[in-house]
Amino acid sequence: MSTPMLEVSDLVVAYGKIEAVKGIDLVVHEGEVVTLIGTNGAGKTTTLRTISGLITPVSGSVSFLGERVSGVAAHTIVARGMAHSPEGRHIFPAMTIEENLLLGAFIRRDATGIKADMDRAYELFPVLAERRKQSAGTLSGGEQQMLAMGRALMCQPKLLLLDEPSMGLSPIMMQKILTTVRQLRADGMTILLIEQNAQAALSLADRGYVMETGHIVVEGTGKELLANDAVRKAYLGED
């Protein structure tokens, strides 16, 4: 098989003396949607934050497009083609929707391409287009999530990291967000997804990893994990 787009090898991450991630390995190939599932505190968000350069690991390595990026500044990793839509959204509430989207393109200088990508974001999320001059703080939680995803897409990522995109959303808004993830997948986007709704995540993912207390305990295709009795019991609420 070809070199993975993302390769995480024996990654260890700690907060002080507490190890949050304990020597994990994972790979994401071009065009795949890969999901990381597990309970709160399993180390999923820490893993994503380390991959995107927000946290420096204790040991192990992260390679992106064949080059080691562990220890590289987050903005440099963005420039290489990785975008991170974080848990909690982190939009700028006082700025307009349009200004928030433009911030996602801060490393770019191609005005025509930026305009095309903004049009694409509005096509994916029509509600943002209708309210583009409004301050982002006036949006609902689900609309803010759409904005966070749209902003991440504005840097033309080769790899999109999505951390809990449906967290705290109404069932209808959750479906809209997950439908957008499916659309991005159909467009050929490579995605590493953390999602509390394990059933939905495994249904749309090519492959998945199950994380418990800093370790990866099971891995397989989305279908294999949906059919795994232990996974069904622990994460899908089935007896």
Enumerate the domain spans of the chain. Answer: 6-235
pLDDT at residue 98 in the model: 95
- Summarize pLDDT for 152-202 with one digit per residue, the tens: 999 899 999 999 988 888 888 888 888 999 999 999 999 999 988 899 999
CA gap 166, 178 in Å, rounded: 8
Say whether 67 sits in a helix, a strand or coil.
strand
pLDDT at residue 82 in the model: 96
CATH class of the region 6-235: alpha beta
Q: Of residues 139 and 86, which shows the higher confidence score?
A: 139
Residues 126-134 have a mean pLDDT of: 94
Say whether 228 sits in a helix, a strand or coil.
coil
Residues 40-56 have a mean pLDDT of: 95
Sequence-separated (6 or more) residues with CB below 8 Å from residue 1: 29
Does the pLDDT value for residue 238 go beyond 80? no
Task: Give percent of the chain with pLDDT exceeding 70.
Answer: 98
